[in-house]
Structure 1
Amino acid sequence: MKTYDGQTAKFLAVVGENMPEVSGKMMQWWIENPLSLQVVLRSLCTKPNFEVWKTIKLGTVGLKTAEDFRRALHKDGFEINDRASDILGKFAFTVATEETEVDLAKVTVAELGFKDGAKREQIYERAKELGLELCPAEVGPQLRLQYQDQPNGEWVLIGMKPIVDSDGDPNVFYMERIDSKLWLSSYWGSSDSFWHADRQWVFCRPRK
């Protein structure tokens, strides 16, 4: 009989408490077929492999300051709300010193395992556990400039460290398309802000 450390024993207890109803006949089949059970359990414990959704460039020529981004957005016909424009000018908003590419993954809160929604802090923690990383803040305006074919009605949040605006409120970038208008905006980004299961977040997907 195996012995387990405290964490493993607790994990097995939680699994037992949350097991769906299983008939005695089915239980006996699993008991008699442990290798089949191992295959099922391995599949459950495998991290999901989030596909690259988009690859964008950071640190591009001519886009080094907040004003550079504001001009580029307006020149190309994008809309930007006041809060997003505000946090572009904050010290916490930094730009890559050299041109570089980053791979992005787009995931829903449900795909991170939260079928009933979750707080931002929980979403970030789970994304990191599953191998994703927070985006540099520059991803916000750069993705907006490079994502011109956004579907109408789509609303995408940037998984980034929140930037405090001039009113003292934490903000994260998001982008949406409303009819013909493509917006770069920002939204309340406190650690306990709640997001429904269908909300989409963008995170960086590290290259191996």
Structure 2
Amino acid sequence: MQIQPNGQLNTRTIEVRGLTKSQLIDIMHQQSIAMNEYAKKLFSDDRFITSHAKYRLKIFDVTVEDLGFTNGATLPQIFKKAIKLGLELCPLELGPHLRLEYVDQPEGYLGNPSKNQAPSGSITIASEIISEDDDFPKGFYLRKIEGVLWLRGYIADHLHVWNPDDHFVFCQRL
């Protein structure tokens, strides 16, 4: 089965620049990128490591429906299907690097998202989960609201069903 992405990013190449977490935070601060408490919690965790070496990734923006789930799916189902199709989970550090590069993200819905749902216009980075604790963030997502670029962390348990139109970014190493 081939994926026919219809997402906002489709595909692009991203360079992970070999920066430390503090360097990433400084650059995001300089560029007025906002972070929520969950993103800050991920950054402060010792299990979130960054590479000292630069490397490139090809990223793919796909919806849950692009992966064949017309009624939605859980993270384990989404990740398993994407891997079966030849995509890879992204390193956690891709979140801040993609946020720094993807500055032309379309504006998201201004209202409050439905509880336990991905906000309209958001893009979730499909990455290795560093903690099975339901109260610990599972990864990052990107959002733009009222002109402000956000790098946000999210919480979802393994039973949460993502909507068919929710966007995920997967990758392949170059």
TM over 0.5: yes
SS where residue 66 of structure 2 aligns? helix
Matched, 1:70 2:28: no
Alpha-carbon offset, residue 49 of structure 1: 6.4
Alpha-carbon offset, residue 203 of structure 1: 0.3
Alpha-carbon offset, residue 201 of structure 1: 0.1
**Aligned residue number for residue 53 of structure 1:** 11
**Aligned residue number for residue 180 of structure 1:** 147
The structure in which a higher percent of residues are helix is 1
The residue type paired with residue 67 of structure 1 is S
C-alpha distance in 2 between matches for 1:97 and 1:187 = 26
Moved more, 49-58 or 117-126: 49-58
**Aligned residue number for residue 115 of structure 1:** 70
C-alpha distance in 1 between matches for 2:172 and 2:130 = 21
Alpha-carbon offset, residue 170 of structure 1: 4.0
Gaps of 5+ in 1: 1-45
C-alpha distance in 2 between matches for 1:77 and 1:140 = 16
Matched, 1:134 2:89: yes
SS where residue 96 of structure 2 aligns? helix
Classify 1:54/1:125 alpha carbon distance in 2 versus 1 (closer, same or farther; 3 Å): same
Q: Percent identity?
A: 33
Provide the aligned length of Structure 1 versus Structure 2: 159
- RCO (CA 8 Å, sep 6+): is it higher in 1 or 2? 2
The residue type paired with residue 91 of structure 2 is P
Classify 1:178/1:141 alpha carbon distance in 2 versus 1 (closer, same or farther; 3 Å): same
**Aligned residue number for residue 41 of structure 1:** none
**Aligned residue number for residue 204 of structure 1:** 171
Alpha-carbon offset, residue 115 of structure 1: 0.2
8 Å CA contact 1:172, 1:189 repeated in 2: no
8 Å CA contact 1:87, 1:163 repeated in 2: no
Alpha-carbon offset, residue 59 of structure 1: 3.3
Task: Give me the TM-score of the superposition, normalised by structure 2.
Answer: 0.83
Match of 2:136 among 158, 166, 169: 169
Structure 1 vs Structure 2 CA RMSD: 2.2
Gaps of 5+ in 2: 109-120
The structure with the largest alpha-carbon Rg is 1
The residue type paired with residue 141 of structure 1 is P
Alpha-carbon offset, residue 70 of structure 1: 1.6
Residues 17-96 of structure 1 aligned to structure 2 (within 5 Å):
46-48=1-3, 53-60=11-18, 63-64=19-20, 66-96=21-51
